[in-house]
């Protein structure tokens, strides 16, 4: 009966049900043995890539969308990410298989999808804020900037001023 159903529906028949969608199909008495591969997956090259994307780039993203980080801080964060990516532990140094700038190239030029240059990422997020000020002049931040910095001109033509907030200087970083 099963064979006839598989043949009628033109389905392949699975001989074994060890895993489905990456999860163990059967969990036996030994939970430790059933889930032992979880640790290996977390700290494999692919697991480190997921952690870098989900955590290392996500934590500074909000701050970088409002403020321009100094280059030294971007380099320090990038070094920490690089060390984690290549699998270096606290005192153990390993050989980096590639120069970090190579995976951070654009995807079209052979770079990795998950790798980012933090300076460029910071600049892109600042540009997004500048675009929001330009495209949504009725937003709260645009109205505050207009009232304080460019009440008689527009955002792009306003002078930088000597008493601008760091947030405004960060948004203007991409327009000058």
pLDDT tens string 74-104: 989 988 887 777 766 556 665 555 555 566 6
**What CA–CA distance (Å, rounded) separates 140 from 126?**
17
Q: The pTM is what?
A: 0.66
- Of residues 68 and 18, the one with the higher pLDDT is 68
For CA atoms 14, 19, 20, 22, the dihedral sign is: negative
* pLDDT at residue 1, as a whole number: 75
Per cent of the chain over pLDDT 70 is 75
Mean pLDDT, rounded, for 136-142: 92
Mean pLDDT, rounded, of the chain = 79
**Per-residue pLDDT band at 135 (split at 50, 70, 90):** very high
Residues 11-33: pLDDT tens digits?
777 666 666 666 766 677 777 77
Percent of the chain with pLDDT over 90: 19
Please list, in sequence order, all residues whose beta carbon lies within 8 angstroms of the beta carbon of residue 75, skipping any fewer than 6 positions away.
118
- Helix H or strand E segment including 12: none
The whole-number pLDDT of residue 70 equals 93
Question: What distance in Å separates the CA atoms of residue 94 and residue 38, rounded to the nearest whole number?
Answer: 24
Which of 79-88, 104-113, 160-169 shows the lowest per-residue confidence on average (mean pLDDT)?
A: 104-113
What is the per-residue pLDDT for 114?
61
The pLDDT value given to residue 97: 55
| Spatial separation of the C-alpha atoms in residues 116 and 105, rounded to whole Å | 8
CA dihedral sign, ordered 77, 80, 84, 87? positive
Residues 6+ apart with CB under 8 A from 12: 6
Using an 8 Å Cβ cutoff, are 33 and 132 in contact? no
State residue 151's pLDDT score. 81
Tokens describing residue 121: 């990422």
- The terminus-to-terminus CA distance of the chain in angstroms comes to 73
């Amino acid at each position: 009966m099963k064979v006839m159903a598989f043949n009628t529906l033109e389905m392949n028949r699975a001989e074994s049900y060890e895993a489905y969608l990456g999860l163990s199909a059967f969990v036996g008495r030994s939970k430790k043995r059933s889930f032992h591969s979880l640790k290996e997956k977390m700290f494999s090259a692919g697991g480190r890539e997921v952690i870098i994307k989900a955590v290392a780039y996500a934590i500074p993203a909000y701050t970088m969308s409002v403020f321009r980080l100094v280059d030294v801080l971007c380099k320090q964060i990038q070094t920490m990410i690089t060390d984690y990516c290549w699998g270096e532990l606290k005192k153990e140094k390993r050989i980096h298989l590639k120069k970090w700038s190579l995976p951070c190239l654009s995807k079209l030029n052979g770079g990795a999808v998950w790798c980012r240059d933090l300076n460029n990422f910071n600049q892109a997020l600042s540009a997004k804020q500048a675009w929001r000020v330009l495209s949504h002049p009725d937003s709260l931040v645009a109205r505050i900037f207009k009232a304080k910095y460019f009440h008689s001109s527009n955002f792009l033509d306003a002078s930088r001023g000597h008493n601008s907030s760091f947030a405004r200087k960060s948004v203007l970083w991409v327009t000058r």
